Amino acid sequence: MKQKIGMLIEKNTLRLAKQKAAKEGRPLSDLIQDALEQYLRKGAATPKEREMAFHLFCERPIKIPQKQLRYLLAEDMWNV
């Protein structure tokens, strides 16, 4: 059962979400629900994972393996 909610979203984020929904030919609410469900399944990074990412990217950015760099560049973080 769906329930109506109210929320505040940054103006630019809402604009991009509306464009994506229109491009895919589906309601904005479906896009937001899918994005939220994906986030909840995946979960947020743990403090240890965030610390590891900091050390990898900020302390020694040149030592990222080429395969991992290609993966990161190809990753579409906004493709929900």
Tens digit of pLDDT for each residue in 5-24? 898 989 999 999 999 999 99
Take residue 78 and report the two structure tokens written for it: 């906004």
pLDDT of residue 77: 64
> For residues 80 and 73, what is the distance between their CA atoms, to the nearest angstrom?
16
**CB contact at 8 A, 16 and 78:** yes
Query: What pLDDT, in 10s, does the model give residues 24-78?
Result: 999 999 999 999 888 888 766 788 888 887 777 777 656 677 888 788 777 766 6
Assess contact for 80 and 38: CB atoms under 8 A.
Answer: yes
Ranges of each domain in the chain: 10-43, 44-80
The tokens describing 36, both together, are 């939220």
pTM over 0.85: no
What per-residue confidence (pLDDT) applies to 65? 78
